[in-house]
Amino acid sequence: MTHDQISLWVKVQEDKGLDVESVKTRLKNMVIETPSWGYGDSGTRFKVFKQQGVPRNPFEKLEDAAEVQRVTGVCPTVAVHIPWDKVEDYGAFKKHAQDLGLRIGAVNPNLFQDDDYALGSLCNPRAEVRQRALAHMLECVEIMNKVDSNILSLWLADGTNYPGQDDFRKRKHYLMDALTEVYQALPEDARILIEYKMFEPAFYHTDLADWGMAFNYALKLGDKAQVLVDLGHHAQGTNVAHIVSTLLDEGKLGGFHFNNRKYADDDLMVGTIDPYELFLISLELVSGEQDPATSECADNVSYMIDQSHNIEKKIPAMIRSVMNIQTAFAKALLVPREELKQAQEKGDVIRAEFIVKEAFETDVRPLLAMVRQEMGLQPDPLKAYVEGPYDKKILARGIGGQGW
Amino acid sequence: MTHDQISLWVKVQEDKGLDVESVKTRLKNMVIETPSWGYGDSGTRFKVFKQQGVPRNPFEKLEDAAEVQRVTGVCPTVAVHIPWDKVEDYGAFKKHAQDLGLRIGAVNPNLFQDDDYALGSLCNPRAEVRQRALAHMLECVEIMNKVDSNILSLWLADGTNYPGQDDFRKRKHYLMDALTEVYQALPEDARILIEYKMFEPAFYHTDLADWGMAFNYALKLGDKAQVLVDLGHHAQGTNVAHIVSTLLDEGKLGGFHFNNRKYADDDLMVGTIDPYELFLISLELVSGEQDPATSECADNVSYMIDQSHNIEKKIPAMIRSVMNIQTAFAKALLVPREELKQAQEKGDVIRAEFIVKEAFETDVRPLLAMVRQEMGLQPDPLKAYVEGPYDKKILARGIGGQGW
Amino acid sequence: MTHDQISLWVKVQEDKGLDVESVKTRLKNMVIETPSWGYGDSGTRFKVFKQQGVPRNPFEKLEDAAEVQRVTGVCPTVAVHIPWDKVEDYGAFKKHAQDLGLRIGAVNPNLFQDDDYALGSLCNPRAEVRQRALAHMLECVEIMNKVDSNILSLWLADGTNYPGQDDFRKRKHYLMDALTEVYQALPEDARILIEYKMFEPAFYHTDLADWGMAFNYALKLGDKAQVLVDLGHHAQGTNVAHIVSTLLDEGKLGGFHFNNRKYADDDLMVGTIDPYELFLISLELVSGEQDPATSECADNVSYMIDQSHNIEKKIPAMIRSVMNIQTAFAKALLVPREELKQAQEKGDVIRAEFIVKEAFETDVRPLLAMVRQEMGLQPDPLKAYVEGPYDKKILARGIGGQGW
Amino acid sequence: MTHDQISLWVKVQEDKGLDVESVKTRLKNMVIETPSWGYGDSGTRFKVFKQQGVPRNPFEKLEDAAEVQRVTGVCPTVAVHIPWDKVEDYGAFKKHAQDLGLRIGAVNPNLFQDDDYALGSLCNPRAEVRQRALAHMLECVEIMNKVDSNILSLWLADGTNYPGQDDFRKRKHYLMDALTEVYQALPEDARILIEYKMFEPAFYHTDLADWGMAFNYALKLGDKAQVLVDLGHHAQGTNVAHIVSTLLDEGKLGGFHFNNRKYADDDLMVGTIDPYELFLISLELVSGEQDPATSECADNVSYMIDQSHNIEKKIPAMIRSVMNIQTAFAKALLVPREELKQAQEKGDVIRAEFIVKEAFETDVRPLLAMVRQEMGLQPDPLKAYVEGPYDKKILARGIGGQGW
């Protein structure tokens, strides 16, 4: 990216009336959380392909996250998953993060990888299994206290595989009971984010199947409970941006798990299959921030990546996802809101669509390069990584690191 | 259906412990509302095929509905659609229904067939259009009073076709404002049922896109607002039975629009594409009736058919749909609840699935024949219609009756 | 678009090794056919919203198409639909097109809007209906001769709505028989393009349901039969680019019906819902052109737009679609093929994805502005239209023009 | 099932004109192949739940299959999967099968569980990996010779996860080359069945994505190549029965992998989610058998189960699937073909749908009980298993048997 390209970009946008400085400020303030599990081996139900250089323990995962933070500058927090990131000494773990310039973000319980959970965890027909799952949730709350996390991020894999297998309403009550207990245990300033998912690993029904179900629980629990949107968890044809705007309007949008998919919950790199959808979601987020009625909620939305890299290298995949979120968000910041509003109010469909699309068509690489340089970073994070020493250094870890 | 078949059927079921009498009573008490518009010409966006004998006015639609009631005995009410069923004298209309042994059921406003509604009705960006749509809703409330209807059934076709076309959150507030006014105008003992639909006729977003959105409005409005489930309005892969059970549990299931589809909102005859899904939904309804915690809601669920017959004859199509609902519901009544509960609690997946499936595999034609005979009807309603005089009589109406 | 922006764009791309001149040449040679029916009123099954200024006859549709050609320069041909575009004197019609600087493109028969076709046309169970449909096809071949068209474009709406309604295999044979007769009647240098569609207007099965079925007929018929891909006719999750590449490889890709959709066959403006998919399809087309093994087929692919504008203005909607196709195709031309090939062969997933995405992220508006200026056009076709006199002039036509 | 029920059933059907004897004969002659891997532990990408009593080696899998054969009488063959069923001495393996009253059915190669296959097997960009995959295929052909199998059943998991990752057409040629070599190596009387799958484990594109692609390869290869239909491998909304009828008509339907799903490739027990679809597919198979033009193909269709039981017990799950296939097929045999044909030819949609549905509504448990008794079996295979000693006996195997 040459100086000429950047200065011309600024000029063109300023001529259009864009406040480039405030756009840059917003982009510098972005925080995108990366997941510890995104650095480990993962796969499909058919195969986990083992890669060389994968972290062998939670401390090494933090080190990989720190490398992503080094080249992007917007990833200071790391989500952890218990028990995958269970350690003896959480003080030492938190300290390791701090030494790397990181903080621990959301704590994610695991309610799906125990043989007892075959028929569900918090919704299991057997009381002792439900108790065990609840105890694990409460253990995660304890860990939140130890690592200074203020988000408990719940993905509940519970559901059934066959009609008749269990009683939907009974399970709903089990879940409400458990969430109520967890909610009461939350630290004062903490939130629980409730994720939903249409199918998989349960194939007939999922106890938290859609945003409406997650929203209903969040509503009953109280202000500290919000909904988490994972981009890959919807039925085909769903308008996710519309759900995002609805949750924002209700003050119940808590966070995202960013990723991408073509068919199911493919957990591909963010923005690789449908970048326009990502941009349209960003548009709602920017709109939410700029509207006083929703800005408090919008400002607290937690941006998290949730990916499962099967065949590509983990760290560059994470960097690409961060870049793609920045790209979508930067484009969303370019939309001339007042002009758009006028076209909408006039019912000028052609013009309104055009205005939004023009922002998307704009190449924001000059803008992002400028932002990164002003943050003391190299303009191209992927290049910074590929040309840095880290990629080779971690090969010494060998094959067979942690996976899930 | 011979006497032998029926008596053997009863014996086999009683041996299994089924209370055949109470099953018969429940089946005799079913009420399935047919829609006036289901008797008129309709089609796809490509073509409305005109049929001979289609009603030429709302009074003739009632006559067709009376014929369906004559052969089925469970269809005493008829849903109307304004302005398709607009008449000069609603007193005369109500009287005509009574004379035919019918009552007027739900009143359905039309917010999609006016040129002003191109960009929406209650959510239109222009205030005068929103006012007009609201006025139409209030007109429908007036009609409810005139025809003694206690259900206002709202399908809102509003939405956008393109990203950027309009502001989701602004539209959400427009809708809340309008629904609040309508709600306050409702007669004391009446309900408003809020329908949702994923797509079509709006293609990018629908203002009432899923059950969660409809539920959220119903929650804010109050006890007289509930959700209406149209079987064809979901994304592929959605577990509709699960949504039904959730709404029942929340006391917010208001009614159904029964029909069937393979891909989109095909409005085919009920139970013709996926009869097992219909049975599984019935299972939730029966379960809701039998549970004191949900029985009040379940007992008030309005069973309505909503079909659009493009190529088949209207009246026999309606009869078939009624029969298929009865079949599914009858099978649901056969499930041995206590046995099922035990299998579920033991986590015996094979057994629980088997119990439910066995009820579905049971041929309930002997049961339904018996029920109909005891109601003074012929055992096969389709045969009763085909062999009756009505099918020929209406040919005199010619071609070019009312459509939509 | 300033001179600075354009010259900087050229410099940046040339520095990357792009042969800007050949890219410009390819873009100047694009031909995108617009459909006569895209200028008329159309709608959903619920409503056709009437617009002011819609053509009242086929001649006026040509005039609208000429306006699109005036501002875009790449739309010299117009597809016609019989009987919507049936005229007394096809010589006069062809002459009118020529006077406007246009040619008649594909001839599209209509096999779905006759009451006789309720149960199908070429696949109808009744021989006389099949004969009638065949006669219509042969009439269209006659019209091709009269208007110098060399493409017969077949969309067959036939199918069934219910299981059991008809015999799939019998219908398959009926269709093969009819297509064989049509094929034999084709003019020497003409092609028949066979379209497929998953559902609608038939809801249970469609006789030409997917590319495999269309391909199978094309294979049996011979070299003059190819497949037509309509972007809205696939199941959710289908990889259309993959189908395009398969058909190219088999020499059986005949043409496109460009449009966009979110759920079903929404017929929205091209590139408005998923512009990245459009780009990825363009990538296959460019790849096909550049490979000697497929270039003959690729060079003969007919690029046609097929839209149904319900709520937006017709002519600007068509212009936007043309622009969006140009944008996608221009970006596809930027991909450094050799670099991409190397990354693919090395299995460098991150790099290969990055290369393709970088081309998509590139703003090609400077390139297209340059191309248009060199073609003697204004750089922004939409602006050229909006600021021109045509938009106002046609208002004199009033409301109630031709629709379908 | 009492004698009364059975004899009344026969009487009722004979009164309708059904040739009960020939139906029984057809049912007795059914052959449903069970898969060795269906007896082992399996799961989702999130978890394989370990069960007690799972086979520890291929020989024990045969023993479980023999138990299914013992209670059903229609499962004399077992599909094997290499290398999961790799053994030192295939002679001994074949002998073990024979001693158990079984034969080895289809041989299934594994082209997805080797670290080398991360980017594909037969379509991998690297020649040495393609060679290795081809060698594995040829090894499987060798094994076919050793175990007297005459079906090579190819599921190719190859595909890409990201746009740009690889070259679709190049991969298509790699695949054609490999299949050609395999085809030439096939034993004289053997067939290769080519499976297709829409997505998973590859998420962006699958090299064999749909029936059209599999059909195209089968067509080029020759008569010994046919298509295999796995019920879970289609996009939502696909009419699988129509694909089955198309392949039958072309003589290219080779076999099935029966299972069921709600959303993706869930591999649930056959007939548990959509039993009507299974029946409609059976209808095409029966129709194919009864039509001289297609009977040769239909008679050679291989009926195989492919399931992945995550939470339910393996052997009873397999028995249930066998029963559900029998049920669907038995109902399909009841359809009065001539009557149906007449209704279809008259265009009597209501009647044609009714006829097909009536067969489905018929309870065929008396018929199947009678068939089983005449085969020397107990009337209820599930009961026979549950009450037999095998279920307890295998517990001695402990936990941790073979999985995949």
Q: Supply the DSSP string of C69-106, one letter for each residue.
A: HHHHSS--EEEEEETTT--S-HHHHHHHHHHTT-EEEE
The tokens 């607290």 sit on which residue? Answer: A300
CB contact under 8 Å between D365 and B361, yes or no, is: yes
Task: Return the residue of A nearest to D261 by Cα.
Answer: A203
- Per DSSP, what are the bridge partners of residue B48? B43
Whether the per-residue pLDDT at B319 is higher than 90: the answer is yes
Residues of C in contact with D340 (CB under 8 A): 164
CB contact under 8 Å between B169 and A248, yes or no, is: yes
* Backbone φ, ψ for residue B400 (5° rounding): 100, 30
Q: How far is CA B393 from CA B58, B63, B73, B364, B388, in A?
A: 17, 12, 21, 32, 10
Write the CB contacts of C120 (distance below 8 Å, at least 6 apart in sequence).
C129, C158, C159, C160, C166, C171, C207
Structural element, H or E, at residue A143: helix A127-147
* Rounded CA separation A339/A353 (Å): 12
CB contact under 8 Å between B320 and D276, yes or no, is: no
Task: Return the residue of D nearest to B275 by Cα.
Answer: D276
pLDDT, tens digit, 9 for 90 and up, residues C215-273: 999 999 999 999 999 999 999 999 999 999 999 999 999 999 999 999 999 999 999 99
Report chain C's C-alpha Rg in angstroms.
21
Q: How far is C215 from chain A (nearest CA, A)?
A: 25
Residues of D in contact with C118 (CB under 8 A): 347
Could you tell me which residues of chain D have a Cβ less than 8 Å from any Cβ in chain A? Answer: 43-47, 49-50, 112-113, 115, 117-119, 157, 161-163, 198-201, 203-204, 236, 261-264, 266, 268-269, 272-273, 310-312
pLDDT, tens digit, 9 for 90 and up, residues A247-295: 999 999 999 999 999 999 999 999 999 999 999 999 999 999 999 999 9
Percent of chain C residues past pLDDT 90, beyond the cut? 98
pLDDT, tens digit, 9 for 90 and up, residues C271-316: 999 999 999 999 999 999 999 999 999 999 999 999 998 999 999 9
Could you tell me which residues of chain B have a Cβ less than 8 Å from any Cβ in chain C? Answer: 43-47, 49-50, 112-113, 115, 117-119, 157, 161-163, 198-201, 203-204, 236, 261-264, 266, 268-269, 272-273, 310-312
Task: Return the residue of A nearest to B340 by Cα.
Answer: A164
Q: How many other CB atoms are found less than 10 A from the CB of residue C380? A: 18
Amino acid at C26: R
CB contact under 8 Å between D162 and C205, yes or no, is: no
Write the CB contacts of C387 (distance below 8 Å, at least 6 apart in sequence).
none
Name the pLDDT band for B403 (thresholds 50, 70, 90).
Answer: confident
CB contact under 8 Å between A350 and C317, yes or no, is: yes
Task: Return the residue of A nearest to C262 by Cα.
Answer: A237
Q: How many other CB atoms are found less than 10 A from the CB of residue C12? A: 16
Residues of C in contact with D205 (CB under 8 A): 239, 241-242
- Helix-strand-coil split of chain D, %, nearest 5: 50, 15, 35
Find the mean pLDDT for residues C312-326.
98
Find the mean pLDDT for residues B42-59.
94
Q: Which chains touch A (3 or more CB pairs under 8 A)?
A: B, C, D
DSSP B55-105: -SSHHHHHHHHHHHHHHHSS--EEEEEETTT--S-HHHHHHHHHHTT-EEE
**Of residues C306, C256, C308, C261, the one with CA closest to residue C282:** C256
Task: Return the residue of B nearest to A211 by Cα.
Answer: B212
Task: Return the residue of C nearest to B237 by Cα.
Answer: C236
Q: How far is D355 from chain C (nearest CA, A)?
A: 8
DSSP C178-217: HHHHHHHHS-TT-EEEEE--SSSSSSSEETT-SHHHHHHH
Candidate from B118, B163, B276 with C-beta closest to A280: B163
CB contact under 8 Å between B212 and A212, yes or no, is: yes
Instruction: Return the pLDDT at A74.
Output: 98
DSSP C372-394: HHHTT--S-HHHHHHHSSHHHHG
Q: How far is C83 from chain B (nearest CA, A)?
A: 14
Task: Return the residue of D nearest to B240 by Cα.
Answer: D262
Candidate from D4, D262, D276 with C-beta closest to B8: D4
* Residue to substitute from A37, A41, A42, A46, interface D, most D β-carbons within 10 A: A46
Write the CB contacts of B381 (distance below 8 Å, at least 6 apart in sequence).
B71, B72, B319, B322, B323, B372
Write the CB contacts of A352 (distance below 8 Å, at least 6 apart in sequence).
A340, A343, A344, B162, B164, B165, B166
Average pLDDT, chain B: 97
Instruction: Return the pLDDT at C178.
Output: 98
Q: How far is CA A197 from CA A67, A194, A234, in A?
A: 31, 10, 7
Q: What is the pLDDT along chain A (404 residues), one digit of tens a residue?
A: 889 999 999 999 999 999 999 999 999 999 999 999 999 999 999 999 999 999 999 999 999 999 999 999 999 999 999 999 999 999 999 999 999 999 999 999 999 999 999 999 999 999 999 999 999 999 999 999 999 999 999 999 999 999 999 999 999 999 999 999 999 999 999 999 999 999 999 999 999 999 999 999 999 999 999 999 999 999 999 999 999 999 999 999 999 999 999 999 999 999 999 999 999 999 999 999 999 999 999 999 999 999 998 999 999 999 999 999 999 999 999 999 999 999 999 999 999 999 999 999 999 999 999 999 999 999 999 999 999 999 999 999 999 898 87
Candidate from D49, D115, D266 with C-beta closest to A115: D49
Candidate from C211, C236, C341 with C-beta closest to D236: C236
Candidate from D219, D235, D357 with C-beta closest to C236: D235
Name the pLDDT band for C403 (thresholds 50, 70, 90).
Answer: confident
Name the pLDDT band for C341 (thresholds 50, 70, 90).
Answer: very high
For C30-334+376-397, the fitting CATH number among 3.20.20.150, 3.40.50.2300, 3.40.225.10, 3.30.70.2190 is 3.20.20.150
* Rounded CA separation C399/B86 (Å): 26
Candidate from C273, C275, C362 with C-beta closest to A363: C362
The answer to whether the CB of D273 falls within 8 A of the CB of D260 is yes
Residues of B in contact with D307 (CB under 8 A): none
* Rounded CA separation C383/D288 (Å): 60
Task: Return the residue of A nearest to B336 by Cα.
Answer: A164
Candidate from B46, B49, B201 with C-beta closest to C47: B201
Instruction: Return the pLDDT at D101.
Output: 98
* Rounded CA separation B130/B116 (Å): 10
Residues of B in contact with D272 (CB under 8 A): 353, 357
Residues of D in contact with A161 (CB under 8 A): 266, 268, 310-312
Residues of C in contact with B269 (CB under 8 A): 162
CB contact under 8 Å between D8 and B12, yes or no, is: no
* Residue to substitute from C203, C210, C265, interface B, most B β-carbons within 10 A: C203
Percent of chain A residues past pLDDT 90, beyond the cut? 98
Candidate from A46, A50, A113 with C-beta closest to D157: A46
Average pLDDT, chain D: 97
Q: How far is A26 from chain B (nearest CA, A)?
A: 22
Instruction: Return the pLDDT at A351.
Output: 98
The answer to whether the CB of D119 falls within 8 A of the CB of D166 is yes
Tell me the fold of D31-336: TIM Barrel (3.20.20)
**Of residues A57, A33, A63, the one with CA closest to residue A391:** A63
Whether the per-residue pLDDT at C377 is higher than 90: the answer is yes
The answer to whether the CB of A285 falls within 8 A of the CB of A241 is no
Q: How many other CB atoms are found less than 10 A from the CB of residue A301? A: 21
* Residue to substitute from A195, A198, A203, A263, interface D, most D β-carbons within 10 A: A203
Q: How far is A212 from chain B (nearest CA, A)?
A: 4
CB contact under 8 Å between C112 and B203, yes or no, is: no
Amino acid at B276: Y
Q: How far is C198 from chain B (nearest CA, A)?
A: 9
Strand ranges inside A252-301, DSSP E: 253-258
Find the mean pLDDT for residues B222-248.
98
The helix-helix angle for D314-334 and D58-72 (nearest 10°) equals 40
Q: Which chains touch C (3 or more CB pairs under 8 A)?
A: A, B, D
For B31-332, the fitting CATH number among 3.40.50.300, 3.20.20.150, 3.40.50.620, 3.90.1200.10 is 3.20.20.150
**Of residues D113, D95, D96, the one with CA closest to residue D55:** D96
The superfamily in CATH containing domain A30-335+378-397 is Divalent-metal-dependent TIM barrel enzymes (3.20.20.150)
The answer to whether the CB of A259 falls within 8 A of the CB of A306 is yes
DSSP C263-322: SSS--BPTTSS-HHHHHHHHHHHHHHHHSTTTHHHHHT-EEEE----SSS-HHHHHHHHH
- Vertex D245 angle, CA D243 and D251, to 5°: 105
Q: What is the pLDDT along chain D (404 residues), one digit of tens a residue?
A: 889 999 999 999 999 999 999 999 999 999 999 999 999 999 999 999 999 999 999 999 999 999 999 999 999 999 999 999 999 999 999 999 999 999 999 999 999 999 999 999 999 999 999 999 999 999 999 999 999 999 999 999 999 999 999 999 999 999 999 999 999 999 999 999 999 999 999 999 999 999 999 999 999 999 999 999 999 999 999 999 999 999 999 999 999 999 999 999 999 999 999 999 999 999 999 999 999 999 999 999 999 999 998 999 999 999 999 999 999 999 999 999 999 999 999 999 999 999 999 999 999 999 999 999 999 999 999 999 999 999 999 999 999 898 87
Q: Which chains touch B (3 or more CB pairs under 8 A)?
A: A, C, D
- Helix-strand-coil split of chain A, %, nearest 5: 50, 15, 35
Candidate from B126, B205, B294 with C-beta closest to A347: B126
